[in-house]
Amino acid sequence: MSRSFFAPSGVESSSSSSGGDRGASPPSDSSRAPFLSNKEAATTLNLGNDAAASGGANGISSDRQDKSALATAGALPPILAYCTASILMTVINKYVLSTRFTLNMFVLLIQSLVGVILVRAAKSTGAIQLRDFNSKDAKNWFPISCLLVLVIWTGSKALQFLSIPVYTIFKNLTIILIAYGEVFLFNARLTRIILLSFGLMVLSSIIAASADIARVLDLADLRMPHNADSLDAVSRLSAGHEVGTSDPLAGIKASVNALDAPDSEGEGVLEAMGGWHIFNSGYVWMALNCTVSAAYVLFMRKRIKSFGFKDWDTMYYNNLLSVPVLIVMSLFVEDWSGANFEKNFPSDRRTSLMTAIVFSGACAVFISYTTAWCIRATSSTTYSMVGALNKLPLALSGMVFFNDPVTTGSTTAIGTGFLAGLVYAYGKNQQAEAGRLASANGAANHGASSSLEERDEFKGSLPMHQREGGAKGRVE
């Protein structure tokens, strides 16, 4: 209980006036009151219970305000660290994969090795606690690591062909797949607010892809190949009138076709597929990434409880077990010839690319640490809200670092996706709060029913008391 150590000025003067007398009377009740607790002071001064309650409430309120301020100040560093780590990870991966890069598995392999080395180093220094490697756990966890490899691989392919804003917006669709998966697997419940956020997520994805959809439709509306039907003109199939052969999408087609092998023969991919290669490059990879990500989260949720893994255990096993999978997939899927390695790692950029890849592996470890730090310092509710708010700077980072076009459609899509994340986080928090209240009410009702049963059990029996100094069990 809070105590006051400052006496009123009146008490101070009275004490000083009688300071030298040995036979001075003991301090009065009123002079001792400031040194007592709220309840004791109220009793001493014959105050009512309301005064004591008021003083106690004010003290508790002040303590709560102080604790709230300290909690807010302590939560800021982990939140900023988590946001910085996630943005750095995305920007660095985009920097590595934005060129004509084909060794995606090799990049993931280096990142996994860096993660294993850093986690082991942290354990050796005593910075983290990590369970010892167990072959049985590794065997049972191996399917989850394989799914994680597919998640990271499809995500890297999607990020290679899509801009960061579009990639970030479409990543929200994974939330919808996970939510409906939980409905079927775990009998979860979806509220109206959560369904509203899903609608906003789909709307933001449509807005983000609208520019590419318009380009594809314009390209597909032209006859392929562009052979002149009359003097320097081709026929537009839908309109039926002649248009010039100048192609407004020549730049887009050239940039996409440049991703193909330089020794490819015949028509360009865009010409052969009527423009739909734009979707086959980025959006199909994005759809695969959302599907595999949802499967990974749902499957891991079912298995992680039986394993009893902590955050660092999960990360260590995921990185360690993904190394052999990445080696095998890289050897079978990717071209390891000297010419292809020189093309992916040109001599003038080799050092910077390798440094960025190693640093991205360190960022992955940093993300895992800051995630656990953020949840520990705040709460899972705050963490989910931070994840929603982080979509905005993550999408804007592509416009800042990679000169992604700033258009009305892109900004509208980012804003809608940002709003969808906020609505989803709010809906999940409301759902969690309702669950906690239901559990608390259930426990209270159970306690009340138990006390009623105990009263009914002793109804009609004589109360047994023990007189002070008397025998136990006498009826009073």
pLDDT, residue 259, reads 54
Give one DSSP letter per residue of 186-240, joined into a string: H-----HHHHHHHHHHHHHHHHHHHHHHHHHHHHHTB-SS---SBTTEEEBTTT-
Give one DSSP letter per residue of 15-33, joined into a string: HHHTTT-TTPPPPPHHHHG
User: How far is residue 405's CA from residue 251's CA, in Å, rounded to a whole number?
Assistant: 15
For 244, phi then psi, to 5°, come to -70, 160
Q: What is the mean pLDDT of residues 35-48?
A: 44
The CA-based angle 181-169-198, given to 5 degrees, is 45
| Of 88, 76, 82, 155, the residue nearest 397 (C-alpha) | 88
Strongest mean pLDDT among 77-81, 231-235, 278-282, 320-324: 320-324
Rg (CA), the chain: 34
For residue 45, what pLDDT band results from cuts at 50, 70 and 90?
Answer: very low
For residue 85, what pLDDT band results from cuts at 50, 70 and 90?
Answer: confident
Q: What is the mean pLDDT of residues 310-319?
A: 84
This prediction has a pTM of 0.61
For residue 142, what pLDDT band results from cuts at 50, 70 and 90?
Answer: very high
Contacts of 333 (CB under 8 A, 6+ apart): 105
The one-letter code for the residue type at 62 is: S
Higher pLDDT, 451 or 443: 443
User: 249-262: buried (b, 16+ CB within 10 Å) or exposed (e) per residue?
Assistant: beebbeebeeeeee
Higher pLDDT, 77 or 404: 77
Least confident of 37-41, 211-215, 245-249, 344-348: 37-41
Q: What is the mean pLDDT of residues 179-206?
A: 88
- Mean pLDDT, the chain, rounded, equals 71
* DSSP conformational letter for 248: T
Cα–Cα distances (Å) from 51 to 9, 59, 64, 269, in that order, read 21, 12, 20, 83
Q: What is the mean pLDDT of residues 198-202?
A: 90
Higher pLDDT, 317 or 398: 317
pLDDT, residue 447, reads 63
For residue 231, what pLDDT band results from cuts at 50, 70 and 90?
Answer: very low
The one-letter code for the residue type at 297 is: V
The number of helices, as runs of H, and strands, as runs of E, in the chain is: 19, 2
Cα–Cα distances (Å) from 262 to 46, 59, 83, 275, in that order, read 95, 75, 39, 19
CB 365 within 8 A of CB 119: yes
CB 294 within 8 A of CB 178: yes
- 387-420 pLDDT tens trace: 767 777 777 777 777 677 778 888 888 889 889 8
pLDDT, residue 173, reads 87
Judged by DSSP in three states, 180 sits in: helix
- 55-66 pLDDT tens trace: 555 555 555 555
For residue 272, what pLDDT band results from cuts at 50, 70 and 90?
Answer: very low
pLDDT, residue 166, reads 83
User: How far is residue 457's CA from residue 449's CA, in Å, rounded to a whole number?
Assistant: 12
Higher pLDDT, 388 or 230: 388
Least confident of 111-120, 292-301, 393-402: 393-402
pLDDT, residue 95, reads 83
User: How far is residue 201's CA from residue 175's CA, in Å, rounded to a whole number?
Assistant: 9
| Of 201, 210, 164, the residue nearest 180 (C-alpha) | 201
pLDDT, residue 41, reads 44
pLDDT, residue 175, reads 85
User: Which pair of tokens denotes residue 191?
Assistant: 């509220």
For residue 439, what pLDDT band results from cuts at 50, 70 and 90?
Answer: confident
For residue 265, what pLDDT band results from cuts at 50, 70 and 90?
Answer: very low
For residue 31, what pLDDT band results from cuts at 50, 70 and 90?
Answer: very low
User: Which pair of tokens denotes residue 247?
Assistant: 């192609």
Q: How many CA atoms lie within 13 A of 350 on its CB side?
A: 7
| Of 25, 87, 65, 109, the residue nearest 330 (C-alpha) | 109
pLDDT at 472 over 50: no
Q: What is the mean pLDDT of residues 220-240?
A: 46
- 322-343 pLDDT tens trace: 999 999 988 888 888 888 888 8
pLDDT, residue 59, reads 55
